[in-house]
Structure formats: C-alpha cells, structure tokens
Amino acid sequence: ETLKPLGYCNAALAMSFQVERRFSLLILEEGEEYVADVSASMALVRKGMTAESKGRLRIGSKSLIFQPDGISASILKFPFRHVRSVGNAERGTGRFTVESDQLVQVATKTGTETRIVTPFSVLRSKVTVNFHVLYASVDEYRQLIYRLWESSTTGKSEAEAVVRNIINEVTADVQFDVSRLGHREVALLQVHLWVRRVKPLLEVRGMLQVSDDAIYFQPHPNFSSKPVTRVALKEVLHVFRRTYGVQANALEIITVQNNCLYLCFEAQSECNHVAQILQSRRQALTAAPTGGVVVQSSTFVNPLGSAEEVLFDIRKITALWQSGLLSNYHYLDFLNCAAGRSQNDFSQYPVFPWVLQDYSSESLRLGDPSVYRDLSKPVGALSKKRLDYFKERMQSMSEEERFLYGTHYSTPAYVIYWLLRSMPERMLRLHNGHFDAMARLFRSVPESWASVNESTASLMELIPEFFVYPAEWLENSLGIVTAEGPLTDVSLPRWATDVSDFVCKMRAALESEHVSRNLPAWIDLIFGYKQDGEEAIQADNLFHPVCYTGSRSSQTASSSSDLPISVLETQLQEFGRVPRQLFNEAHPPRLKIPRWDQACLSEDPRHSEPWHKAVQNLSAGAADDAIAGSVELPTSSMSNVARLSPADTSKSSQLVNDTAPAQDAVGSCTTATIRALIPQAAPTFAASGQITGVAACGVNTYSIGEDGCLRVGPLPFCRAAANLETEASRSISSSPCMRRNFRISPMPLCALVALRTDLIAIGGHDNTVTLYSSSCGSAVARSQTHADTVTCLGISQCRTTMASGSRDQSVTSWVVTPTSLKSEETFDDVQQPIACVAAATNLILAGAIDGQLMAWDRRSSRPVLDRSLGGPAVACALHHEERFATALDEGGELRLWDLRRGCESLRLSVLARAGGGSLVRANCFLTDFEGWAVLGGANAHGRPAVALWDIPEQRELHTWSLNGTDDVAEVRFLVRPTDFTQDGSGDASTASFLCASATGAVHAFLPRTTA
C-alpha cells in the first residue's frame, strides 16, 4: 500500500498551469450533498511519512475531499463514517486536524476533459491529516465539517435534517449575480429560485433567474470554471414538464442547438410560475421579428408545452411517421420524449427495441423475416421456458401484488451497463467506486442477446445509441481498467466489420419494411394499451406494481403508491418505471415506408439528430424528397401489402395493410387518375327550395328536395364530349335531357340512396322510409319505424342491407329486396339526432350531431365502435369488407378507423385554418379508404370547391374551384355513379363522379377522353 500523492506533487505543479483538472460531483456518494469548498493545503501523515500539497478542500455531506493542484496526484476522499476525530482549529494558524481509519484515492485522467477510468483505491489505515484553510476563516469551515461528521453517527432522518439546516445556513445570504445580465435585460423573478440541474446520476444545486431575454443558472457552490449557464429564450425550442423521482416539479428545456437544461424545483408552484413566464416571453419573442435565431411555431408540435400538452399533437407526429416523412428512429425518439423519458434521467432513459435476433451469422440478410425479433412480445416472453417460470411464480402471489417480471426493461443499471465505455464514472458512482465484475459487464452483443433470452434477471431493451452515430461508445477509447484487467472493445456480431458498420446495420434493420410493419405491436406494449391491466396480462407484459408509478396520465407519481416517498424513489431507481401511457387503443399502421440504404446513416448526419430536429427539417422540399424516395414493396414477398397502380410509380411507395385491398373499391381509381379529371357544368337539379339528397346509378341521377319531390335525369357522363380537353368550353348542359319529376310526400324529403337502376329508397319529414320505383312512378314499399324525421340513409355494396338514421336519435337496419323493405334492428345507443349513416353486410355506422360515432354488428346487435369526433358528424362511410370506418366532422377532421386492429389509423385536418388544405368548409367526401379521399365544400373565396387528398401521404394533392356558374353555394353532395350487376350489387369502378350544391348546381368530373 503506497500513498500515490507522495513523490509527484511537485512534479505536477508545472503541468497544472497548462491543463485544468475539473472536479466531478460523481466522486460523491449516492445521495450526498455538495455543501462548500475552500482553498487549502494538506499535510497527510501516515506511518511516519508526510505528503504535502496545495489544492482545494471540498466538503460533502458524507465526506471530506481534497483535490491537489497537481493534476497527476490522486484526489483523496475521507468518508465521515471512517473519521475518528475532527480537531479544534489552531488559533492564528488557520489549521485543524482530522484523523481517519480509511481514505479513498481517486485517480483521474486529464486531457481535453477530466475522466475517472479506474476503480477507487481504498486504503484501510490510520492517517492524520492537517488541513490549512487559506484566504478564509478556519473556524467557520472546521465547525461546518464537525457538524457534518457528528451527524454521520446519527440515524438517516436525523442526518438528513442536519444537512438541510446546514445548506439553508450556508446559502441564506447568497444572491444571484445580477451583473451576469445584459445591461438592457430585466429580471422577471423578484427573487432567484433555488433549483437542481439534473444530469445523469447527478444533481447540481444552484440559483435560477429568468430575464426578458434569457434563462440563467448559477451553480452554488461552483466547482467549475464556468460561473453561470445562459440560455437565450429565442433559442429555446421546447419546454417539457417532467416528473423527476416522484414529484412533477421539473422542466426540461431543449434548445435549437440540442442543448438541454433539466431543472428540478423545490416546489411545484415555483415550477408552474417559471413555466408560465417562459411561455409568455417566448410567445412574445415568436410574434416579434428578431435579429437572432427565429423560433417558429411548428405545425406539428407545441413550441412550448408539457409532456401532457404534447399529447394533443401526438397524432400529428404519428401522421408524419405513417406517411413516411419521419423515420422509425425519430418517431420512437418522439414517443419517449412525450412519455416523459429523457437522456438526463437514467431512471427514465429512452427505450428502443431489440429488432434483430440474428447475431451469429456471417452476413445479415435484412430481407429475411427470420432475422428479426418478434416485436409483438415483450423481452420477457421471447423464451417460452423462461415465461413459463415467470407465470408459475406469479400464481403464488396475491391478486393485488401479482406481476410477471420483477424488474423493468429499462433501469439505471441497464443504461450504465450499455454506456460503460463512454460513462465509466456513472458505474463507479452506482457501485461505490468499483466496476461490476467482468462477467457482468457489457462485453459482447451476441452474449447480451443470449442473456436477454435466457436470464430471469435480464429483461433489458436497447437504448437509442444503438441506432445513431457516433458509434465510439462501443470502444474502450478511454482506456478503462477494471480490478480484473483492462476493458476490451465490445465484441460485435460476425456480420459487422466495425462499430460504425454495426450501428449502420442496426439502424437499417430498425428502418426496414419488416420492422415498420410490426413496430406498432411493440409500441402497444411500451407506450400503449398493453402496458397495464388485463391487456398486459394477456400480452405477458405485466411488471412489478412499483414500475407503474405515475404511468397513467391521470396519476401523479407521488399519489399512485402508498409507499413513503424516499422508499418509492429508491425502488424506482432499482426496478425502473413504465413510460407514461400515450395510446388507449391499438397503434395505427404505417402507410408509407421510405427507402433506407445502409449508407444513409453515415452519409447524412441529420439521421442521428433528435426528433425535434427532424421535424424542424421537414420543410416542403424535404417532405417531397422523402416521398419521392419511397419504394414499392414487392408483392410477391408480402401478400398483405396493397399493390400500387402503375399510375403512381412516379412517387411509388409502400401501402401496408392487413389484407389485400378492395379491388372493387379502388378499381382504376388512383390519385393520378382522379387528379386528371376535368369538372364540367351539368344540367342543374331544379327544385322549389333546396336540394336535400343526391344519388346516381350508371344511367340516371336522382335528387330530392324540400318540396317533397323526386327528380330523375340522365347521367351527364353518357352525354359528355369525346374530348373534354379540346372542348372544355362546351357545357354538358347544351345536350337535350329527358327528365321526370315525382311527388313523393307533402313534407320535405331528407335522405336518398340508389338501390338499383330505377329503384331508390327515400326518407323525410313524414318519418317514413319509402322504397320507390322511378320506372313505375310508385312506391314499392313503405315503413314508418322512426318517431321523427328520417335524416339519412346508407346502403351496403351488395344492396341488400340498408341503414336509416333519425332525429329521434335511433338507427335502424333494414333488409331490402326489389319488392320489399323489412326493418331488422333498431339501435338507440346514440344520445343525439343522427346526422349520417353507412351500411355494410354486417355492420351499421352512424354519426350524431354531438360528434358521437358508433358502429354495431347486426349479427349480435352489439357496438363495435364508440368514439367522439371533434365536432358534429357530417358524413361517414364503411369499407365494403368492413375493414375500415371513416367519418368527417364539422370541424374538417376526416378520421379513419381500422376495425380489425381496433384503432384510429388516420386523422386528416382538411381545412385551411388547420393548416392542412384549401377548403374552409367540408360537407361531404368520397374515399377508397386506402389511397385517396375527395372532399366537397367551399374555398376561402366562398366558391364551391372539391379537394383531392392522398391518404398515405396525408396531404392535399389538388383542388378544383368550380367557377363555371354564377352559383356561389358550396358543394353539399359528392356521388360516384354505381353500375349495377345482374345480382343487384354495385360497382363504382369508374373514376368519374358528380358534385352538387343545395341550390341544384351540378358538376361532372370526367376524364380527358370519355367514351
């Protein structure tokens, strides 16, 4: 045992002027406070030998630390629990003596920064240390040390009380240095606030001040050469509320340069006050032009918002991911952020999935599904043998405390396990100055994967560093040496040539088509509805109850457990915690998968930037580039991927679905063919009053109105000119038309559907549903099932199932034949008048004026969908194979639900005020549910307009402003004529369609060349 400071204190003096050694708070013990520091010299006497040096005496709540000026000399630490005595101060000398039975030597490695790469050396020997306090009162510091040493012999709670009192005393007269503010800056806090700046496994206490221009953090005691940290408000990109430990009293401030200031407040009221100040100041800065960095209010995320507030925008970020504009990595990075996870908090570190299971082959074939891990299962369920063990153990537990897994997939220990080579000080902090045993260190990727599949104590997922540059964290570039010898670089799979190649291939796997298709299943486990409860049990995804602390958005971390706060915080550090739940239903699928080359990561540093940078980079040009870079999925390899038409090969992409697309729904209609249609004015629907319903078949058009009449006319498509491009000025209305009018009711009519050629169903204010033959001019059948006005009708593609909705808040299903009309079931679950209905073979869909949307299964009469729209329902539709339901509300949101997945898979804000489209009102729509949607309404000039939207890309492609007539009424009806087969079923395969206004103006959208 040799004392390392002996012999080379003087030799290091010359170097100390060239290289600065910075003190690290990680040398302190877990839970230890940094109280004060002072310049001092030290004379250490051991076994008759004396070592003298000058440096700085740092006082912690659990130890004394002396940092010599010589950068080669070890830092010496004297834990109070091993100190035998603290002598009195010698008058006039500035000296006092400490006797200890143990000292700890901390060797540092100083280069561009000071690092600790070897275990602490513990010398168990009696030593006498003479400290000489320089430039300060020895009595003050000796008394402080004596009180801390004395408290170390008491109980934990008493010691903590003493430390709190001492900290309050030493900071009572400390003031924020206002000279750090610019001469034109105004402090917005009357008095500075004491906060803690959070870094991984580290808290730095200091003073916070906010001016009208910047945020200031002044650490105290200041152990670094930087007196204050300044963050300009104009550079702040996001401010997220965070739960640190069990208290929701933290703010994570992220700048445009991707710097972070994570602040934990002493009281939640202080946190709220600062958040309000930042919000108001940043809104003022954003509104006013500045000469510096401009922080734009993003369309996709709230520029200032808590994790809870960002939840309102999650679907917009999800839409970017679905449309292929946001990578899988950036989307997962966003979900982690929104769920309260941060790289500054190791107890809530971002979690990423193991995506591969092949770490032994010589080459990696990303096109082979067998190389991928099953993302529908949690890590603990990947091995059946291990899962059976967990299930058997759970059976012996009480109902309230049952769990499968006693540890989480992300804990501070797991994070440090992965990041050992880049953050050795963190493991030394966690293990009290020692590295873990070599066998338990991260040495090999294949070995770690094997452990994750076999060990009952290893359930860890990955961290984001596995998928981005730089990759040097996998190498022992710091020269770390453990007690068992030097640490080697991480052993990689045979398919990786080096660490850069390994990370590139891991990222390529994450962005692959296979992972893109299956990632929603993993999101359901980590951030979604399979986190907790019965769904978690069914998915083998149930963790220790402590792990769910604060995971629900309605919970606060401190209120979700009966344990004392200190105990709960300790357990969270050990067990880990489930992220805040973001989704209450199955996650929607990805609609487009952009092409990803393995060289992407190395060629473009933007792929390694955080999610908010990626969103910021999504300008219109970047979005177009991303879409143009998409690739079509080979249909031979994936049978459940929708096939693209040749017309879309200019922007080919992957449309991912569970089953084959509805060919009769899509037919020859693509976004390209619809965009090429030319609107032509057609004969108007003359009526006394407004038109209330429009329908069409392959031969006729039908309209009803407030006058109680039905009007039948020829389909304009059949009268079109041969070449509309050369005869665009010629109106279809110039052709002679044969029309028929029928008086149906003395009361206004409201609803209309075409069942077959010359056979239609009508509903109106007389509360009846009428089956009417226009060829005979008479009613075939009539039924008065509803107690109030029949407001809407819907018909299935097979034309045998119909639905009616009424002002009496009821929905009725009907069985229809050419000669009969039979009511089948009445549903009264909706609480407001029905605005729209749709029917399929087995399902009925209805939307109400209060925004409630419900679907029922006719076979069981049970609801299968119950959702609330953002406003009154306007129109709805069902996929003929009952895979999708779609609804449009008055606020201009078009939503699509995947009924087989049980999730909302799409939400389009189609109005101009939402930043999405050119319409200011949307009243009706047509869609194939997978490729396109056509919406009718009015534009900003009040003119009738029709807009085409691309569903996978989730953007408006084209708008037609209908200025061919003097009519300024908005589009109220969109109709695709249906050609009826011999069995009565309908096929709307033509690309042409009609639009009409309530005043009767009609436009036909026709191909450039019409037969």
Residue range 366-418, pLDDT digits in tens: 999 999 999 999 999 999 999 999 999 999 898 888 899 988 999 999 999 99
Give the CB-side neighbour count of residue 294, counting CA atoms within 13 A.
Answer: 8
In the predicted structure, residue 980 carries a pLDDT above the cut 80: no
601, 468 contact by CB (below 8 A): yes
490, 499 contact by CB (below 8 A): yes
In the predicted structure, residue 723 carries a pLDDT above the cut 50: no
Place 1009 in a pLDDT band, splitting at 50, 70 and 90.
Answer: low
791: part of which helix (H) or strand (E)? Answer: strand 790-795
Indicate the length of the chain as a whole number.
1011
pLDDT of the residue at 649: 29
In the predicted structure, residue 989 carries a pLDDT above the cut 80: no
- Residue carrying structure tokens 């077959």: 756
115, 426 contact by CB (below 8 A): no
- Interatomic CA distance for residues 352 and 331, integer angstroms: 11
Helix, strand, coil percentages, rounded to 5, for the chain:
25, 30, 45
872, 860 contact by CB (below 8 A): no
Place 10 in a pLDDT band, splitting at 50, 70 and 90.
Answer: very low
- Interatomic CA distance for residues 749 and 769, integer angstroms: 10
Question: Which residues have CB under 8 Å from 958's CB, separation 6+?
Answer: 675, 947, 948
Q: What is the mean pLDDT of residues 543-571?
A: 70
Task: Render pLDDT for 610-644 as a digit per residue (tens, 0 to 9).
Answer: 998 888 888 534 444 443 334 333 322 222 323 22
- Interatomic CA distance for residues 838 and 886, integer angstroms: 10
pLDDT of the residue at 1008: 77
In the predicted structure, residue 11 carries a pLDDT above the cut 50: no
H-assigned helices in 808-943: none
What DSSP string runs through 376-412? TS-GGGSSHHHHHHHHHHHHTS-GGG--SBSS-S--H
For residues 104 and 731, the model is more confident at 104
Residue type, 624: D
pLDDT of the residue at 291: 44
In the predicted structure, residue 435 carries a pLDDT above the cut 90: yes
Place 981 in a pLDDT band, splitting at 50, 70 and 90.
Answer: low
What is the Cα Rg of the chain in Å?
Answer: 36
Helix (H, G, I), strand (E, B) or coil at 215: strand
Lateral strand order in the sheet of 700-705:
691-696, 700-705, 709-714, 740-743
Question: Which residues have CB under 8 Å from 409's CB, separation 6+?
Answer: 351, 378, 379, 459, 460, 461, 526, 576
- Interatomic CA distance for residues 170 and 35, integer angstroms: 8
890, 872 contact by CB (below 8 A): yes
For residues 192 and 989, the model is more confident at 192
Q: What are phi and psi of 749, to 5 degrees?
A: -100, 150
- Interatomic CA distance for residues 953 and 591, integer angstroms: 8
- Interatomic CA distance for residues 621 and 627, integer angstroms: 10
Q: Give per-residue burial for 726-758: e unless 16+ CB within 10 Å, then b.
A: eeeeeebbeeeeeeeebebbeebbbbbbbbbbb
Residue type, 251: L
What value, to the nearest 5°, has the Cα angle with vertex 925 and ends 922 and 927? 145
Task: Render pLDDT for 311-330 as a digit per residue (tens, 0 to 9).
Answer: 567 888 898 899 999 999 99
Q: What are phi and psi of 127, to 5 degrees?
A: -135, 150
Place 686 in a pLDDT band, splitting at 50, 70 and 90.
Answer: confident
Structure tokens at 830: 């909706």
pLDDT of the residue at 567: 79
pLDDT of the residue at 483: 94
221: preceding bond cis by omega (within 30 degrees): yes
What value, to the nearest 5°, has the Cα angle with vertex 877 and ends 916 and 789? 110
In the predicted structure, residue 168 carries a pLDDT above the cut 50: yes
Specify the range with the lowest mean pLDDT, choosing from 77-91, 815-829, 904-918.
904-918
Q: In the chain, pLDDT over 90 holds for what percent of residues?
A: 64
- Interatomic CA distance for residues 407 and 572, integer angstroms: 10
pLDDT of the residue at 665: 38
Question: Which residues have CB under 8 Å from 782's CB, separation 6+?
Answer: 768, 769, 770, 771, 821
Specify the range with the lowest mean pLDDT, choosing from 50-59, 161-170, 217-226.
217-226
538: part of which helix (H) or strand (E)? Answer: helix 533-538
Specify the range with the lowest mean pLDDT, choosing from 237-241, 578-582, 832-836, 855-859.
237-241
Residue 5 CB neighbour total at 10 angstroms:
23
Place 914 in a pLDDT band, splitting at 50, 70 and 90.
Answer: low
Closest CA to 875 of 841, 902, 848, 897: 848
In the predicted structure, residue 257 carries a pLDDT above the cut 90: no
CA distances from 888 to 803, 914, 933, 975 (A): 18, 14, 11, 16
Question: Which residues have CB under 8 Å from 7's CB, separation 6+?
Answer: none
H-assigned helices in 598-682: 600-603, 611-616, 620-628, 663-666, 671-675
> Checking phi first, is residue 279 left (phi over 0); if not, alpha (psi -120 to 50) or beta?
alpha
pLDDT of the residue at 228: 94
470: preceding bond cis by omega (within 30 degrees): yes
Task: Render pLDDT for 116-162 as a digit per residue (tens, 0 to 9).
Answer: 999 999 999 999 999 999 999 999 999 999 999 999 999 888 999 99
pLDDT of the residue at 749: 95
Q: How far apart are the first and last CA of the chain?
A: 100
712, 699 contact by CB (below 8 A): no
DSSP E strands: which ranges in 233-279?
Answer: 236-244, 247-255, 260-265
Structure tokens at 305: 């918002």
Structure tokens at 438: 């070599």
Residue 179 CB neighbour total at 10 angstroms:
7
Helix (H, G, I), strand (E, B) or coil at 580: coil
Classify burial at 124, counting beta carbons within 10 Å of its beta carbon; exposed 0-12, middle 13-18, buried 19 or more. Answer: exposed
For residues 928 and 303, the model is more confident at 928
Specify the range with the lowest mean pLDDT, choosing from 13-27, 235-249, 518-532, 813-827.
13-27
Q: What is the mean pLDDT of residues 584-605?
A: 92
Residue type, 947: A
